[in-house]
A and B are shown apart, each in its own frame.
Chain A
């Protein structure tokens, strides 16, 4: 039946069409969504912020490259996921941090948390948050030195960094807090990328519009924080606008790898993040609990998924009589 004139054909399994998305496109979108917050970080905290972000991105990407080379696995630098981890880690560092620690954190995030567990999609906690906690535990004093925005404009900024407390620390200490507007646009002390709620919201909207993330996790996270604060008799707005809640809810908790894949699981997970955050904030000795909350929920993710597993279409009918 063979005919010499007929062309050679490719044979493959269906489907023969694809939506055209790829991991790299998704990660590029996340990077784009991070741009507004990165710009605001540069405006508020100056060259130190820019330096930290570039260092984190650079060392994350380099670590990823080296790890994949050493492990002789397909190179994954091109999917931009290491760059995203870099930016997110930088966002979680205080602006005055010694750059050495930033590099250390990046290497930890990529080499230990991500690649040792098998690379993208396999890590059981968010690499950037794990690295932040690693730094926080190892170098607590360096990790909690905050500076007020625009400190670099003052005459002797280089030698004498102005220290300030985050609004949460101020609230915990009983001193006054910045106005809502200042909280909203980020004119207060805090980590690099977490202060400007406005920029984070713009990024979040972009992710939602591009359908990179679904609204379940951020909404449940933020909603739970607000409700718990209300129930505890505290100002929910302050809790939403300060600390790492916005950054956490929009960019960290929604990390694909470490959050449940199903809708019910996402809701459960978001609520859990909010509850743990508020538990730490209200009762813990730490002023801030977002990172711990998310990491804890990351660890629970496989169990949440098992618990909230949807039953396949048509199986309810079968089970209904039993």
Chain B
């Protein structure tokens, strides 16, 4: 195998695809042997301690494994104990045709069409795509475009609601008996990773068979400050989460499922753990209490904490034998298989000092931020910065006239006091960015290389494995815009 790897490394990227494939295979088998070794050891340990009757029982961790870096953030989970409120259909929704990572959807309705809730209005032939459904019933008033915060333009479908929320008549629960039917059903549901990244879930669970995936990691860390949308899902529909986890583990033929939840949500941990016991699923499923540090919910960090495996640089979780799904996504899958209603609403945490009533709102996709603000009692003071997502990784919106999309989980309306622009001063080489980085990068050196445009140097420092979690910039006493430097570094390396 050594030889083969060497040949791989020496291969010129001319035959990029087959090379990558072979690459994956080689690694896949290596991974397998590695993880098997580990598993064997752990299983032995477990057998000794518990004298478990079944020698094939998968290892379920009791304590999280050590992760690198991270920072302690102020949790500010002000909305944790307020039950979600359902936002009545707004007068107008603007549904973006790009709500996922991958190819944008094409609108399949025209101006003037009458649509119903759950009717598909956007789709594409591309494999990396999730279809988009109408979230209100009414009439399509325009097929327009909209500027996304990242500067690209996307098509939108605007629907004037009739207020009736008539359900589309073809909606019926899908019949799912095997993995292929599950992929198809999940694709039709329009589900994307609801944790924020928005990767189409049907693609994520349809990993190539040579990856030897054995673990489902359910991401309930919700480590961003303010956000409680996932927490409310755990409290309000724990049965769906457990059912979804069981279903996925079974259908995909996985050995075990680990639900990782940050330690600051004891009630959720208790609920879910007792449900697992009640349904006697505790031989292959467990709830793992993670330490209270940001970013426990970042995919690679979570995999390390739950399974002690490292996702190889530039690879995906499946290469470490895991798939990671957000806890709300898992709950949604269970509900979808029961009802057949696609992803047309989203629970969103509304918080921040500028908003009158902080709460969790279940809103139709495409509701404008201004409508949500109005539903939350308007503003106490003029908002200075509006974040879509949490304060660590969220995007600042340029306008309140902006619709929410599937993977949004928070809207933070910050007042002037929280918004002070921090002026960068000279780096004092304190090393805090280095010890904060969960990916073990050295932002302090990367910033200099970016300024020098030293692409080889940046490649050596593995800048592409930065996940823009923000820990470095959060802890920098000189207020260096490190995440921006890292983004520039990644672009330099790519170009």
Which residues of A does B touch, CB under 8 Å? 1-3, 6-7, 9-19, 21-23, 25-26, 74, 76, 79, 81, 118-122, 214, 256-257, 260-263, 305, 309-318, 320-322
**Contact partner of A314 among B310, B412, B477, CB < 8 A?**
B310
Other A-B pairs beyond A7-B382, A318-B313, 8, CB < 8 Å: A16-B412, A21-B477, A25-B477, A121-B426, A121-B428, A121-B478, A317-B310, A322-B6
**B462 CB contacts on chain A under 8 angstroms:** 311-312, 315
Complex: how many Å from CA A81 to CA B426?
Answer: 12
Q: In the complex the two chains form, is A17's CB within 8 Å of B311's CB?
A: no
Tell me the smallest distance from the CB of B398 to a CB of chain A, in Å: 5
Q: In the complex the two chains form, is B313's CB within 8 Å of A10's CB?
A: no
Q: In the complex the two chains form, is A16's CB within 8 Å of B1's CB?
A: no
Q: In the complex the two chains form, is A26's CB within 8 Å of B430's CB?
A: yes
Contact with A along B406-424 (1 / 0, CB 8 A): 0000001010000101100
**B434 CB contacts on chain A under 8 angstroms:** 261-262
Given contacts A9-B384, A309-B442, contact A314 B396 (CB under 8 A): no
Given contacts A10-B384, A313-B439, contact A120 B426 (CB under 8 A): yes
Cβ-based interface call for B71 (8 A): yes
Contacting A at CB under 8 A, from B431-483, are 431-432, 434-435, 438-442, 444-445, 461-462, 465, 468, 470, 473-475, 477-479, 481, 483
Q: In the complex the two chains form, is B440's CB within 8 Å of A312's CB?
A: yes
**Contact partner of A17 among B149, B384, B392, CB < 8 A?**
B392
Which residues of B does A touch, CB under 8 Å? 1-2, 5-6, 9, 26-27, 30-31, 34, 68, 71, 73-74, 146, 149, 225, 300, 304, 310-315, 320, 370, 382-387, 389, 391-401, 412, 414, 419, 421-422, 425-432, 434-435, 438-442, 444-445, 461-462, 465, 468, 470, 473-475, 477-479, 481, 483-484, 487
Complex: how many Å from CA A313 to CA B385?
Answer: 33
8 residue pairs bridging A and B, Cβ less than 8 Å apart: A14-B392, A25-B477, A305-B445, A312-B462, A316-B310, A318-B313, A318-B314, A322-B2
**B431 CB contacts on chain A under 8 angstroms:** 256, 260-262
Q: In the complex the two chains form, is B426's CB within 8 Å of A76's CB?
A: yes
Q: In the complex the two chains form, is A9's CB within 8 Å of B426's CB?
A: no
**Contact partner of B470 among A15, A118, A312, CB < 8 A?**
A15
Tell me the smallest distance from the CB of A23 to a CB of chain B, in Å: 5
**B396 CB contacts on chain A under 8 angstroms:** 9-14, 16
Given contacts A3-B401, A14-B393, contact A315 B313 (CB under 8 A): yes
Given contacts A26-B430, A256-B430, contact A6 B401 (CB under 8 A): yes
**A18 CB contacts on chain B under 8 angstroms:** 422, 473-474, 479
**A261 CB contacts on chain B under 8 angstroms:** 429-431, 434, 442, 444-445
Tell me the smallest distance from the CB of A45 to a CB of chain B, in Å: 31
Tell me the smallest distance from the CB of B407 to a CB of chain A, in Å: 15
**B313 CB contacts on chain A under 8 angstroms:** 312-315, 317-318
Q: In the complex the two chains form, is B73's CB within 8 Å of A312's CB?
A: no
**A262 CB contacts on chain B under 8 angstroms:** 431, 434, 442
Complex: how many Å from CA A7 to CA B468?
Answer: 28
5 nearest A-B pairs in the assembled complex, by CB-CB distance: A15-B470, A261-B431, A312-B462, A17-B391, A21-B477
**B401 CB contacts on chain A under 8 angstroms:** 1-3, 6
**A1 CB contacts on chain B under 8 angstroms:** 146, 399, 401
Closest to B320 in A: A317
Tell me the smallest distance from the CB of A256 to a CB of chain B, in Å: 5
**B392 CB contacts on chain A under 8 angstroms:** 14-17
**A317 CB contacts on chain B under 8 angstroms:** 31, 310-313, 320
Closest to B4 in A: A321
Complex: how many Å from CA A312 to CA B400?
Answer: 39
Complex: how many Å from CA A311 to CA B71?
Answer: 20
Complex: how many Å from CA A10 to CA B484?
Answer: 17
Given contacts A6-B400, A18-B422, contact A314 B312 (CB under 8 A): yes
**B2 CB contacts on chain A under 8 angstroms:** 321-322
Tell me the smallest distance from the CB of A300 to a CB of chain B, in Å: 15
Complex: how many Å from CA A10 to CA B34?
Answer: 49
**B30 CB contacts on chain A under 8 angstroms:** 320-321
Complex: how many Å from CA A311 to CA B387?
Answer: 34
Q: In the complex the two chains form, is B474's CB within 8 Å of A19's CB?
A: yes
**Contact partner of A15 among B311, B393, B412, B442, CB < 8 A?**
B393
**Contact partner of B5 among A9, A76, A79, A322, CB < 8 A?**
A322
Complex: how many Å from CA A122 to CA B426?
Answer: 9
Given contacts A13-B483, A19-B71, A26-B477, contact A314 B465 (CB under 8 A): yes
Task: Please indicate which of the listed interface residues B401, B426, B439, B474 has the most CB atoms of chain A within 10 Å of its own CB.
Answer: B426
Closest to A213 in B: B430
Q: In the complex the two chains form, is B425's CB within 8 Å of A76's CB?
A: yes
Q: In the complex the two chains form, is A263's CB within 8 Å of B435's CB?
A: yes
Given contacts A14-B394, A16-B387, A313-B439, contact A23 B478 (CB under 8 A): yes
**A26 CB contacts on chain B under 8 angstroms:** 428, 430, 477
Complex: how many Å from CA A318 to CA B394?
Answer: 31
